Structure 1
């Protein structure tokens, strides 16, 4: 599946309003887009967001990139409702309705129509999912990306990571211990382990972009056939 509970609380905007407000969005949206925009500014086509959460990121990204069509997805019904509420609130013309997506399911659990449409993607963006889900979720992401990105397409993965078996900050180590105490199948992943699975599926690690608060963006590129 696309992940478990968010690492940060997500609260309703107001009573009766389906929009959720994720504190992390206000901290990391601008830095994330500063990196993504450099890769996507000259691209066209469909971009899939895996694990869209509240939906706030995809709305802001879409506003900044009218040349791209964004497809938000999530596993949690509450998040799916929030994504569509934000979409309606923003009157976003280049954001599709939210789709339920399960990284562990055949064809990611997408309908036949969506599965066909989302088979020639320009890019996939996935934030704060891999560490709050079982390792099979990482495998499902890489397998699906290899099937759905067009040759040269990009997979962006944002979050905290270990490098060479070591945490990059004490705060990440404490966060990892907290995650594993909640679920032994969760935890901060090592870049080398992710890279190995990606390589199995024809995805090359092209860049590691350092981000604020001891996070990173891993940029993978799908090799051509």
Structure 2
């Protein structure tokens, strides 16, 4: 099959890696939630051979992720497991670190809450969480392009939309996590780093 490709992933993989690598320097395993095309997984696993990168997504996205993984042929990159935020039990438990990119504005608010329920249950005691994507601050868009993007998301699915940074931090706090860094990223995105 033709490998799926996201230009956004191609554009943001290096800026994310720059911030992610020091944050994950002492971590042995990362669970990526919503691996999408698989591009981030390949790039990050290749750049951080010290950790095992576990891909995951809904079943219908697995073929594309597998094609990227198999072509990369990295010993520290594992084929995707099925992870559905609607389901409480995750296929991996006691995870040292969780990474997700461009997911929380795609899923419903209920599934964002489910995501944090899963983090609460499955992240290790001293675990780390990294979330990449666009966020609003004090209910305001950070750019006109983000406002347009939010309108596009809601037109496609009224349950989706750019989330408030403060709400995400509140959910993280309920999951026993503290924000350690909020990095400004290209294209009006952020990288939020939390520790338990």
TM-score class, shorter: over 0.9
Q: Is the 8 A contact 2:10 2:39 kept in 1?
A: no
Tell me the equivalent position of 1:40: 24
Q: Is the 8 A contact 1:47 1:124 kept in 2?
A: yes
Q: Deviations over 1:141-170 (max 9, x none)?
A: 111112222222111110000011111111
Tell me the equivalent position of 1:6: none
Alignment of 1:72-151 (within 5 A): 72-77=55-60, 79-108=61-90, 110=91, 118-151=92-125
1:82 partner SS: helix
Deviation at 1:24, TM superposition (A): 1.0
Tell me the equivalent position of 1:50: 33
Alignment of 1:20-31 (within 5 A): 20-31=4-15
Q: How many residues align?
A: 196
The 1-side partners of 2:95 and 2:184 are apart by 25
TM-score for both structures, normalised by structure 2: 0.95
Q: Is the 8 A contact 2:106 2:161 kept in 1?
A: yes
The 2-side partners of 1:140 and 1:68 are apart by 26
1:19 aligns with 2:13: no
Deviation at 1:198, TM superposition (A): 1.6
The 2-side partners of 1:207 and 1:44 are apart by 17
Tell me the equivalent position of 1:7: none
Q: Is the 8 A contact 2:88 2:118 kept in 1?
A: no
Deviation at 1:18, TM superposition (A): 4.2
Cα-Cα RMSD: 1.2
Partner of residue 186 from structure 2, selected from 212, 219, 223: 212
The 2-side partners of 1:66 and 1:213 are apart by 28
1:53 partner SS: coil
The 1-side partners of 2:168 and 2:94 are apart by 23
TM-score for both structures, normalised by structure 1: 0.83
The 2-side partners of 1:182 and 1:86 are apart by 28
Unaligned stretches of 5+ in structure 2? none
The 2-side partners of 1:152 and 1:207 are apart by 16
Q: Is the 8 A contact 2:30 2:52 kept in 1?
A: yes
Q: Is the 8 A contact 1:45 1:121 kept in 2?
A: no
* Structure 1 outlier segments of 4+, above 4 Å: none
